[in-house]
A = this chain, B = another copy of it.
Amino acid sequence: MEITAETSPNVTVVSISGTVDSGTAGALATSLREHAGNGGSHLVADLAGVDYMSSAGLRALLETVKEARQRGGDLRRAGVQPNVLRVLDLSGFTKILKVFPDVAAAAASFPA
């Protein structure tokens, strides 16, 4: 798994790629938790590069959604591969994470 984050004053875009499983989800959760404190807790997860996600990854995403919303922000998503989309959907996460057609649209969806 690789994580890169780009922070602008109003939003942090976290791009994740590779495998998100019980071995890597901890690092994802830590990274997301850090960023949830910045930019008004306005977070965008770009999942386009993720080719595998297990329930450990879902846990990291849910933890971040809760944390960000408690701070008045949110975690929104853009980009997802079909297999990972099915995992999100079967777990009720397509309802939890607001989706946008691309990273720019997700970033622009937050109030300035």
Q: Enumerate chain A interface residues (CB-CB to B < 8 A).
A: 80, 82, 85-86, 89-90, 92, 94-95, 98-99, 101
C-alpha gap A65/B67 in the complex (Å): 31
Copies, count: 2
> What residues of chain B lie closer than 8 Å to A90, measured between beta carbons?
99, 101
What distance in Å separates the Cβ of A50 from its nearest Cβ neighbour in chain B? 15
> What residues of chain B lie closer than 8 Å to A89, measured between beta carbons?
80, 85, 89, 94, 99
C-alpha gap A5/B22 in the complex (Å): 42
Residue from B80, B85, B98, B101 within 8 A of A95 (CB atoms): B98
What distance in Å separates the Cβ of A91 from its nearest Cβ neighbour in chain B? 9
What distance in Å separates the Cβ of A106 from its nearest Cβ neighbour in chain B? 12
